[in-house]
Amino acid sequence: MFLFSSKKRVLIVSIFCLLIFSAFKISNSSYFEIARNLDVFTSLFKEVNAQYVDEVKPEKLIKNGIQGMLETLDPYTDFIPEEEAESFRISTTGQYAGVGALVGDVKGKLVITHPYEGFPAYNAGLKVGDEIIAINDVILKGKNTFEVSNLLKGQPKTKVKIVVKRFGQKEPLTFDVTRAKISIKNVSVTEKLNNDIGYIKLDEFTPGASKEFTAAFNQLKVQGIKSLVIDLRDNPGGLLREAVNIVNLFLPKNTLIVETKGKTEESNTKFHTLNNPADLAIPIVVLVNDGSASASEIVAGSLQDYDRAVLIGQQTFGKGLVQITKPLAYNTQLKITTARYYIPSGRCIQALNYAQRKEDGSASKMSDTIRAEFKTKAGRIVYADDGLAPDIFIEQKSFPSVINVLIEEGLFFDFATQFVNSKTINQIDINEIEIGQPEFQSFIKFVKEENFSYSSPLNKQVQQLAQAIEKEKSAIELKKQLENIQSIIQQDKVQDLNNHQLTIRRILKQQIAFHLQLTKGLVISALPDDEAFIQAQSILTDNTTFEKLLNR
């Protein structure tokens, strides 16, 4: 890092401002306003740097000023300083060099939560649930997951020694792992299911997503599928062109998929399919939820607008904004929103208007009253301004509070780790995993041994009432009644786990399947109880209903 004198700092800021100024195409009407404010900023910075009672850090001041300015825009426009450039690159490309494993904090232990299949950690034999205790002789006690991840990363073909504790093993296990370039897959599950239904789970739209998806679809076609489910739930999006290429598989060449409209000429672009399609007839269902955003909404929305697929699930996120990354001085970058995108029916599905803020500073809805109506190719009415509405809505069920606490405390994960490592079931078919009454009782015993502490919402309210009664000396009779209520609630807490036995057994099955076969195991084991998928399966095996939904 370069160090500058105060005079040089001011000079640099002045030059920086002038460069910004000269980079804009400024109309005569705004010329004075921009020049005046840049002059104010420069003089203010100069005086603060020279006069403030404590020593200031110019870099920090400028960075905070930049962040403050960008916060008035949208949450997707962001400044990426040089030290964060690598993290940003990894998040946008899914590529880095290391061992290929996620590390999490599970009840204070640094645990491998996901070794990616086919990469060094997985190939070396590291498993879900292994507690990492040392890396290259560095003891990890007191370190956080970020520090551990940095120790695991490094140049390709370099070695790293990883020491872990594994349940059921008396002594720690040591693994010598050779780092490699890691490219996280966009398609996590490709499976032919009952009734010749193909299933593809697409997690992101990083570079190569369309190639992966095409390969997955071709594989399923060879296996003889007659219909397809594309699962875009919780897919946050990514590269627009990857989305267009995926849609291209199912729509004719030269079909308009998305149009972007912005302030500059280069922001106004129409994206058409460029290649011949792979299949124009196969029935398609797309699963979406409120975590489906951006490129996911382009895929789902264009297939809906051309009446090519039925959407099932919940309202999507509603991100109709396009970002590009611009390089700045000193290896910094700007990720900036340059346009809105419009899918084939002409609608923009952007939900929030960041240009109009409420009194509390939050963004207002694009349309707080009546949403604009548009029509699909077959004449079905669809709406703009608040994400995509599915053709079949499935209510998203939430877990009861006791289940959420079990998940947050890592008890399902820990039990699955012990269950898998205490049995020789590594090669078992995940469809054969049965969590019956004996396994449920084993889990209840495990939870008790872990001193599971759970306070229900009702119990919290009673505790607040008890605190209020304590202040009233005359409320002796009321206090006795409250003690009786607390006793009943305590008994109900014991019954809470039994009351939710079916849910607990399902989650245990999914966690065990994940320990055995990672994401594929988790997803496939969950599908039989997945209401959105059950609905998809139903309409894909009933062609009349499918055609009627698309107004054909």
Q: Which active-site residues does the annotation give?
A: 294, 305, 319
Tokens of 77: 């426009």
> Do 184 and 89 form a contact (C-beta atoms < 8 A)?
no
Eight-state DSSP code of residue 263: S
> Do 275 and 253 form a contact (C-beta atoms < 8 A)?
yes
Among residues 406, 261, 231, the alpha carbon closest in space to that of 343 is found at 261
CA-to-CA separations, 316 to 42, 312, 349, 546, in angstroms, rounded: 44, 11, 9, 21
The alpha-carbon radius of gyration of the chain (Å, integer) is 28
Tokens of 269: 């672009």
CA distance 233 to 287: 6
Which residue shows structure tokens 């921009």? 34
Which residues fall within 8 angstroms of residue 91, CB to CB, at 6 or more apart?
Answer: none
> Do 323 and 293 form a contact (C-beta atoms < 8 A)?
no
Which residue shows structure tokens 């419009």? 342
For residue 113, the one-letter residue type is T
Which residue shows structure tokens 């956080």? 144
Residues 409, 293, 358: CA angle, nearest 5 degrees: 90
For residue 479, the one-letter residue type is K
CA distance 349 to 297: 8
CA distance 172 to 487: 45
Tokens of 449: 């041994």
Tokens of 344: 């084939």
Among residues 310, 352, 506, 430, the alpha carbon closest in space to that of 300 is found at 310
Count of helices and strands (H, E) across the chain: 17, 23
Q: Terminal CA-to-CA distance of the chain, rounded, Å?
A: 64
> Do 167 and 421 form a contact (C-beta atoms < 8 A)?
yes
CA-to-CA separations, 216 to 201, 282, 533, in angstroms, rounded: 10, 15, 19
For residue 524, the one-letter residue type is I
